[in-house]
């Protein structure tokens, strides 16, 4: 399928996965399997769209980095954790101990990029006054990539070793270019959200970059150059992440209900659920 800058995206609701999350995040799609987490309740939601199972995680999960059969690799407050959905056993694969205060920081977003992973951490109580951390992980080696972003989010690879990382606090979306050993070769401002909403998780769909906009009830659509093409409305005020199922031409979107007022919940009663939209381009 060819994608062009002039095309606009249309979302037609197909399915609502009615498992309510306080803070649904970390969406991951592979084949017919989908998974995400509820950060606030330490839950993993995992399975097929019609058969999603719930699992409790001892560590606080924030993002699914990889899935291999029954094994789910998660970014958690303690580092990178493997959870077996059959035995329910949890194992720390790569721990973050000693690099920052675990009582003050939790993991937020990240991604798996072949030979390495990126995992970010944000202050649990006051991120506006305490910048977060972004780490590059290769094997058992952790290296600090950035410590200047308040709430590191998004983590979309738009080209090999070129990754978008946003700051949900100020709306800035940065393009990080990494060298062959994981150091920052270049960092520049890709774009900034100026007209409402905070950038959260997202994905690449052909030549388009889709980013969920927290507090804007929308998915923003950008070109790879950072030009805003469109904002597509969705039925939740706090979308948190989106991932594309190319086989079925569907977009999955997670959301949050935390912090919403009674009037907001009345206007957006499906907040916290996960949505599957049929995607088309106009």
Q: What is the pLDDT of residues 82-100, one digit of tens each?
A: 999 999 999 999 999 999 9
- 6-64 residue pLDDT tens: 467 899 999 999 999 999 999 999 988 999 999 999 999 999 867 999 999 999 999 99
Q: Is residue 232 part of a domain?
A: yes
Asked if 29 and 252 touch (Cβ cutoff 8 Å), the reply is: yes
Q: Is residue 220 part of a domain?
A: yes
Please report, rounded to a whole number, the percentage of residues in the chain having pLDDT higher than 90: 92
For the segment 250-254, the average pLDDT, to the nearest whole number, is 97
pLDDT at res. 48: 82
Is residue 241, in this structure, part of any structural domain at all?
A: yes
In a domain, residue 250? The reply is yes
Cross-sheet strand order for the sheet of 228-233: 198-205, 208-214, 218-223, 228-233
Average pLDDT for 267-271: 97
Within 97-168, residue ranges assigned H as helices are none
- Whether residue 162 is predicted with pLDDT greater than 80 in this model: the reply is yes
Q: How far apart are CA 235 and CA 239, in angstroms?
A: 9
The alpha carbon dihedral of 274, 275, 281, 282 has a sign of negative
Q: How many domains does the chain have?
A: 1
The parent domain of residue 8 ranges over 1-20+207-282
What is the model's pLDDT at position 7?
A: 67
Percent of the chain whose predicted confidence (pLDDT) is above 70: 97
Residue 81 has pLDDT above 90, yes or no: yes
Determine the pLDDT at residue 50: 72
In a domain, 239, yes or no: yes
In a domain, 160, yes or no: no
For residue 42, being part of any structural domain is answered with no
In terms of Cα–Cα distance, which of 214, 269, 266 is closest to 242? 214
Provide the pairing of β-strand 133-138 with 141-146: antiparallel
Q: Does residue 251 have a pLDDT over 70?
A: yes
Whether residue 144 is contained in a domain is answered as no
């Amino acid at each position: 399928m060819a994608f062009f800058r002039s095309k606009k995206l249309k979302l037609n609701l197909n399915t609502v996965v009615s498992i309510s999350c306080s803070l649904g995040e970390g969406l991951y799609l592979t084949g017919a399997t989908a998974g995400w987490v509820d950060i606030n309740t330490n839950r993993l939601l995992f399975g097929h769209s019609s058969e999603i199972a719930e699992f409790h995680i001892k560590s606080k999960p924030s993002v699914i980095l990889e899935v291999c059969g029954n094994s789910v690799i998660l970014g958690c407050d303690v580092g990178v954790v493997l959870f077996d959905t059959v035995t329910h056993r949890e194992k720390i694969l790569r721990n973050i101990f000693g690099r920052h205060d675990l009582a003050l920081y939790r993991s937020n977003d990240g991604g798996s990029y072949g030979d390495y992973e990126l995992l970010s951490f944000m202050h649990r109580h006051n991120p506006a006054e305490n910048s977060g951390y972004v780490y590059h992980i290769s094997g058992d080696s952790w290296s600090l990539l950035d410590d200047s972003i308040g709430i590191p989010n998004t983590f979309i690879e738009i080209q090999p070793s070129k990754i978008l990382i946003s700051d949900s606090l100020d709306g800035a979306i940065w393009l990080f270019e990494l060298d062959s050993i994981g150091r920052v070769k270049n960092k520049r401002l890709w774009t900034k959200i100026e007209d409402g909403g905070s950038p959260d998780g997202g994905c690449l769909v052909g030549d388009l970059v889709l980013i969920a906009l927290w507090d804007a009830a929308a998915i923003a659509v950008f070109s790879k150059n950072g030009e805003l093409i469109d904002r597509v409305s969705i039925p939740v005020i706090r979308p948190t992440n989106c991932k594309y199922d190319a086989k079925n031409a569907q977009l999955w979107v997670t959301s949050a209900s935390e912090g919403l007022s009674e009037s907001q919940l009345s206007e957006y009663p499906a907040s916290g659920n996960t949505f599957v939209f049929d995607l088309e381009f106009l």
